[in-house]
Structure 1
Amino acid sequence: PADTAGLQQGDIIIEYDGKPVKNVNKFRNDVAMMSPGTTIHLKILRNHKVKKIEVILGCQNDGEAVSAGLMHKLGIELEPLTPEIATKLGYASDVSGVVISNVKPGSPAAQAGLRPTFLITGIAVDWNNQKPIKNISELNSSLQELGDRKYVILIVRHQNFQRYYTIKISS
């Protein structure tokens, strides 16, 4: 739907349905709660110019729904690692991964020690089968491959340290 509506990489959504976007997580959650087929009006910033776009929301694909459900069970919210976020967090421009933007208190992720600003750089099916994660799409694919596992092993970077976090998946 974003492509169809004319959104492009690098566009910054500054307003939706007359409400300013002050927090990307709140915006993402608000949109996720809307029904497919809903029309929303966006005001975006593209190349230093404000532009208005109308978007008709589509359905999540099954992979996105599976990983969104798993992220909810784990108790974490994610966002892509943009160059701006990488600079803010002190990462080099060649670093890739997915940023943890929020951890629900008391969740399996919180109990494992994950915190906002930690960077997920990989996932391990087991200790011998590890996959690098460059973006949310790759994380979604890897999570689908987990099947009915009772835990997930995330390879996480924070500042100059890399650690493995084994997180129990609540049922």
Structure 2
Amino acid sequence: MSTFTALQHVIQHHFNGKAAELQSFVKTGYSFEEWFNWELFYALQVSESELLPKPAYRHVAGLEASKKTGDVYFTKGGHGYIVEVALVHDCTSDKKWRDKVHWDRDQLLTLKGLDKVIPIQLLVLVSNHDDMEASSDWMNWLESLNFWNYAKDIEVKIRLPQNGQAWVVGWAV
């Protein structure tokens, strides 16, 4: 099983059981990205050989001049993976959040080509829309991301209990 298939399985399994929390949090209108990061860290604990929250790029990727930290780092199959998460929901899908998503990607691109370090960008989308792909507002926002139409390595959709959807997509950068 590839690392991306395994990561997709971990996300699907863990966050299916968190659908009620996702629904509750999105209703607040506030960001809950940090909660997602810690839940991802917890979900990865059982299956990964080395796991770090808030990994410093300088330590795990050897970029001594970098002050950047990622969201989660894990190792598998002799490689290290640095994950950057951006969580967007109905109340945060504006230019500020799009810029944050692009900034995360730019930071991950500094890692591209490093030996044994694979950068992963996860975009977590949570909405009261039952099908975000059928929402012109969501699709217009997503298609404004300069990488949205690249092949996705991870894709998980979770139905929320009352209405809505969580959609986690990811790319090896």
TM-score past 0.5 threshold:
no
Higher relative contact order (Cα pairs below 8 Å, separated by 6+ residues): 2
User: Which bin holds the TM-score, normalised by the shorter protein?
Assistant: under 0.3
Q: Greater CA radius of gyration, 1 or 2?
A: 1
Normalising to structure 2: TM-score of the pair?
A: 0.27
TM-score w.r.t. the length of structure 1 is: 0.27
Higher strand share: 1
